[in-house]
Amino acid sequence: MTLIKSISGIRGTIGGTVGENLTPIDAVKFASAYGVWLKQQRNKDKHKVVVGRDARISGEMIQNLVMNTLVGLGIDVVDVGLSTTPTVEIAVPLEHADGGIILTASHNPKQWNALKLLNAKGEFLDAAEGAKILEIAESDQMEFADVDSLGKITINDAYIDLHIDHVLDLKLVNAKAIKKAGFTVVVDGVNSTGGIAIPLLLERLGVDVIKLYCEPNGHFPHNPEPLKEHLGDLSNEVKKHGADFGIVVDPDVDRLAFMDENGDMFGEEYTLVACADYVLSRTPGNTVSNMSSTRALRDITEKHGGTYEASAVGEVNVVALMKKNQVVIGGEGNGGIIYPESHYGRDALVGVALFLSLLADKKMSVSALRKTYPDYFMSKKKIELTPGLDVDGILKTIENRYQEEQLTTIDGVKIDFPESWAHLRKSNTEPIIRIYTEAKSQTEADGLADKFIAEIGAIAKG
């Protein structure tokens, strides 16, 4: 069992030993540290935090612990209940709150949960802020409110609907054209809150929705990471119903992937490429994605006359570079769309609406649309960490071996070859080393990843 404390928040498996897993005591400890930090940041008489969760089995328990810990600190709580990460991000500024917490472990299996922490803008905390919260959690700086100063909990279950209203109000979302196109779409909600939000959005857009695993009970019917090998049922349903395409999201609805009318993956890397193509065609500008994302975004951006730049992995890093470069759209190759016209957070609802607008405009099938983009193939593999493994030392050895190539070391080691690239880094959310590669064919991409896995194994053995 595992507990990961990082600047991204606290993430772990439910049950087990305190300090080694996400137990109730650990949840209270880190919710307390966040609340104390929040009060230090904003010197005022009363503070407010928005709290929501995905549909994980442990979600209600963890949410009650977190909310009542904040109440004990004298902080008022807006309970948005079953929600999505982008919905909570939008709710924070609408509530004029001081911060937000989403209880979700994103794409991790059901035994995991996590506290994702937001600032007053509804954006993820940066490295310095996250480090300060970890410092507070390990100290005795926490002071709770007296009985007359306890916070209060207010329930507001309207935010998914408000989020959908917000998406439909975006200038580039062409609801009229989408309704006219008469799409039929299969939605795999992985039995989490995407099964609530995505069908509601589609129905508002006049799309005929076929639901698959849209019961928000937290019993994930397959590995919740939206990858091809996990989506056989979605493929079958798309073909069975003759649907125009399929949609799958992760449990907290910040990652988005599409499946074409033949039941084949559009490619999660190409979610951002397609949405960027649409946005750039109407609002020319620059783009940003992280270092582990496809080169196709660079190609599409340059086709539209813009400039592309890559950030370190992590949403907060992508957002920081997006703001610096004043980009019109950005995100992550894992299917995360960040559209500043909406807000600075990955948002599958925004991605769905932009993608549908693109399809309605192009008047072509999803498979035909995919053929209009540059062909790159990616391999995403990982190595489980073992105790005592010197990850930093291994990556330094790799860096030294490939110093004649184009190297980027702001986040692990990325090696750019003329026709391919490899990115090796330690995950912030799981006890693994990620090995991402991209090449002109799947065979080449897989072969490059396997080469580096073997090389890391050899270095580890000495």
pLDDT at 452 > cutoff 60: yes
Residue 165 has pLDDT above 70, yes or no: yes
Mean pLDDT over each residue of the chain, to the nearest integer? 95
Both structure tokens of 186:
């299969």
Question: Does the structure show a pLDDT above 80 at 354?
Answer: yes
Q: Are 232 and 226 in contact (CB under 8 A)?
A: no
Q: Which residue has the tokens 């054209």?
A: 177
State residue 241's pLDDT score.
Answer: 98
Averaged pLDDT for residues 412-420: 94
pLDDT over threshold 70, residue 1: no
Query: What's the pLDDT at 8?
Result: 67
DSSP state of 444: H
- Which pLDDT score, from 0 to 100, does residue 285 have? 98
Region 184-192: mean pLDDT is: 98
Tokens of 156: 């507001």
pLDDT tens per residue, range 226-257:
888 899 999 999 999 999 999 999 999 999 99
CA distance 294 to 242: 30
Q: Which long-range contacts (CB under 8 A, 24 or more apart) does 173-178 make?
A: 173/353, 173/354, 173/357, 174/357, 174/360, 174/361, 175/204, 175/205, 175/206, 177/357, 177/360, 177/361, 178/205, 178/206, 178/207, 178/353, 178/356, 178/357, 178/360
Spatial separation of the C-alpha atoms in residues 204 and 189, rounded to whole Å: 17
What is residue 9's three-state secondary structure?
A: strand
Mean pLDDT over 101-106 rounds to: 96
Q: Which of 8, 32, 106, 192 is catalytic?
A: 106
pLDDT of residue 43: 82
Q: With bands split at pLDDT 50, 70 and 90, how would you rate the model's confidence at 164?
A: very high
Evaluate if residue 68 carries a pLDDT over 60.
yes
Per residue in 299-310, pLDDT (tens digit) is 999 999 999 999
DSSP for 382-438, written as a single string: EEE--TT--HHHHHHHHHHHTTTSEEE-SSSEEEE-SS-EEEEEE-SSSSEEEEEEE
273-304 residue pLDDT tens = 999 999 999 999 999 999 999 999 999 999 99
Determine the pLDDT at residue 428: 73
pLDDT band at residue 7 under the 50/70/90 scheme: low
What domains does the chain contain, in order, with CATH numbers?
A: 3-157 (3.40.120.10), 163-370 (3.40.120.10), 377-461 (3.30.310.50)
User: What band does 432 get if pLDDT is binned at 50, 70 and 90?
Assistant: confident
What is the model's pLDDT at position 430? 75
Residue whose pair of structure tokens reads 């790799």 in the numeric block:
398
* The predicted structure's pLDDT at residue 152: 98
Exposure class string for 189-217: b at 16+ Cβ within 10 A, else e? bbbbbbbbbbbbbbebbebebbebbbebe
Whether 42 shows a pLDDT value over 60: the answer reads yes
106 is catalytic: yes
